[in-house]
Amino acid sequence: MLIRMSKGRFHELSHDWLWKTAEITTTSRGSKVESALLSPLPEMKYQVTEKVVPAAIVFCSEAVLENYSDIMRWIPSLGEECRKLNPFLRCAEPEYEFCEYPDGEYKEHDIQIRHNQTVTARGVENDVIRFREIPETKVLSIYHKGAYESIGEAYAFIMKYAEENGHQPAGLTRECYIDGIWNKESVEDWLTEIQLPVRRTGADGAGKTVDIPGCLRLRP
């Protein structure tokens, strides 16, 4: 089977929590970052890991969807489309699948989304199915276990860690949904990984500062 579907991970709730976990003003998404970073963080609840994601070929598709509930229908359709074009193509092992949001901000409607799935080789493309190579990428990784409503704490924690340890955001955050409503009965068992691409600040990591419109999504 070419694409192991996203396990229901794109349930509307999986993004509704994004702006419910901290106080939001009506004037600036950035105020949420400041509020979260200035608030006491649960030091023992989260652990940040620095790791390198290897270079890979990914099958990817982009779309602008009306709302988050459309994502559940969109992702399976991509797998079917890719399978029709490339019946012998297989997912790479270990499997690596993630979503990015090029808008760089949370939106209720007209959501720009990019879905990525590692595969073993390039294949036939069309207007929907594309292949690209992603470079080896250093990321900060953090796991959030439990309800999506509190995942803002994890984002605040990883941003604070990056700042305190000399890391500069270097791209869009990657959202990997591991366990959720699709395979776990209890919300306490839901598991989400957040990956933040980074580079070192200073001489070895000099570069353009990344604009951060909100603590949950980064725009390069």
Contact 215, 156 (CB under 8 A): yes
Residue 173 is which amino acid?
A: T
Cα 201 to Cα 112: distance, rounded to the nearest angstrom: 29
Burial bucket for residue 139 (CB in 10 Å: 0-12, 13-18, 19+): buried
Residue 113 lies inside a defined structural domain of this protein: yes
Cα 97 to Cα 74: distance, rounded to the nearest angstrom: 15
The answer on 82 and 114 residing in a single domain is: yes
DSSP state of 198: E
pLDDT band at 194 (very low <50, low <70, confident <90, very high): very high
The answer on 48 and 86 residing in a single domain is: no
The answer on 107 and 75 residing in a single domain is: yes
Cα 79 to Cα 4: distance, rounded to the nearest angstrom: 8
pLDDT band at 215 (very low <50, low <70, confident <90, very high): very low
Which residue stretches of the chain are H helix?
A: 13-16, 30-38, 71-85, 152-164
pLDDT tops 70 at residue 201? yes
Cα 93 to Cα 120: distance, rounded to the nearest angstrom: 8
pLDDT tops 50 at residue 102? yes
Residue-number span of the structural domain to which 100 is assigned? 56-134
Residue 85 lies inside a defined structural domain of this protein: yes
Which of 3 and 117 is assigned the larger pLDDT?
117
Which of 40 and 4 is assigned the larger pLDDT?
40
The answer on 46 and 72 residing in a single domain is: no
Please state the domain count of the chain. Answer: 2
Tens digit of each residue's pLDDT (9 = 90 or more) over 116-158: 999 999 999 999 999 999 999 999 999 999 887 787 888 899 9
| pTM score | 0.71
Residue 7 lies inside a defined structural domain of this protein: no
b or e along 173-203 (b: 16 or more beta carbons within 10 Å of the residue's beta carbon)? bbbbbbebbbeeeeeeebebbbbbbbbebee
Query: 96, 115, 134 — which closes off a domain?
Result: 134
Average pLDDT of the chain is 76
pLDDT tops 70 at residue 45? yes
Query: 92, 111, 134 — which closes off a domain?
Result: 134
Residue 57, strand partner residues: 119, 133
DSSP state of 91: B
Q: Which residue has the tokens 């490339």?
A: 86
The answer on 154 and 47 residing in a single domain is: yes
The answer on 140 and 48 residing in a single domain is: yes
Cα 170 to Cα 71: distance, rounded to the nearest angstrom: 26
